[in-house]
Copies of this chain bind each other. A is one copy, B any other.
Amino acid sequence: MAKPTKEERKESIMLGALKLFSREGFYTTTIPDIAKALNMSVGNMYNYFKSKDILAKEIIKYISHYLGQEIRKINEKEIATKEKIHDIVTIYFKTAQKEPEMIEYFLRVYLSNREVFKDGCEGMICVSDFVTEIMIFFEEGVQKGELRDQDFFSAFGLFMGYLGGMVFLHGEKTLPESLEWYIDDISYNIYQALKPHHEV
């Protein structure tokens, strides 16, 4: 087993911290907790990330990059926008079902603890990889005449708010069914809301 590089070590720390932050919350997860979960010493953690806040910011960038890649794969497919919506909902829910940490981190850590991400993640720079792909999806859909040409944020808020809301309800164990059960309904609703006028 080769000795891991510094970059690989950083990634494994991020994944361990991601799990804890998303499950237990940012403030209720301590650095010793993370160190213990990774079988390493507290002091050594600081050789990789200079502070708890910096660790949190690196994690959201990591997630944004990961999810952005997933969306890009869909964007690059030669399928109708309606299908792409279905694919995006599917990938989002499948991720939330199998590895809920990423989506939960996005919702419960990144979106909810402004004070932590204020410095260094101004605007959307820490999630730009992800947002950019969503923008591309919209623009291409409009260009192809398969989506109504509307304000970006009105559409973005619908898409992301809706999916985020469902994952929240799932996390609260409020939903009677699995997330996957809702994929068709929700894809339909989103398409109805975004499609051009007079289309069925």
User: Are B174 and A166 closer than 8 Å at their CB atoms?
Assistant: no
CB-defined contacts of A157 to chain B, threshold 8 Å: 162, 165-166, 169, 182, 186
Dominant SS among interface residues on chain A: helix
Count the copies.
4
The residue from B171, B190, B200 contacting A198, defined by CB atoms under 8 A apart: B200
Verify B166–A164 contact, CB threshold 8 A.
no
B115 in contact with A107 (CB, 8 Å)? no
CB of A151 closer than 8 Å to a CB of B: yes
Q: Which residues of B contact A163 (CB under 8 A)?
A: 161
* Sample (13) of A-B pairs whose CB atoms are under 8 Å apart: A25-B113, A114-B171, A150-B189, A154-B182, A157-B169, A158-B186, A160-B165, A162-B165, A164-B164, A164-B165, A192-B192, A192-B195, A198-B200
